[in-house]
């Protein structure tokens, strides 16, 4: 997953993204470090937030563009 990479590239803190997702910072940290599975609805929210495809977010492709 590219959660940390995308967050850091855009200069967001874990706390800012956690607040956006309405979860605690330590919960988001567990998502980022793959210690907890991230729910599908949050994956969709993050793909929308970063304007990337879900496949890119999940490291299934190197193409960040979304299909229209």
Whole-model pTM? 0.90
CATH architecture of 3-57: Orthogonal Bundle (1.10)
- State residue 41's pLDDT score: 97
At residue 68 the predicted structure's pLDDT band, cuts being 50, 70 and 90, is low
pLDDT tens per residue, range 3-34:
999 999 999 999 999 999 999 999 999 999 99
- State residue 63's pLDDT score: 87
Contacting residues for 65 by C-beta, under 8 A, at least 6 apart: 52, 53, 56
pLDDT tens per residue, range 45-56:
999 999 999 999
Among the residues of the chain, which ranges form H helices? 3-9, 14-21, 25-32, 40-50, 54-57
Domain range list for the chain: 3-57
């Amino acid at each position: 997953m590219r959660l940390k990479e995308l967050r850091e590239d855009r200069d967001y803190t874990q706390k800012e993204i956690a607040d956006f997702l309405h979860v605690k910072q330590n919960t988001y940290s567990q998502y980022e470090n793959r210690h907890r599975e991230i729910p599908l609805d949050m994956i969709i929210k993050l793909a929308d937030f970063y304007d990337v495809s879900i496949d890119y977010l999940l490291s299934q492709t190197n193409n960040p563009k979304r299909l229209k």
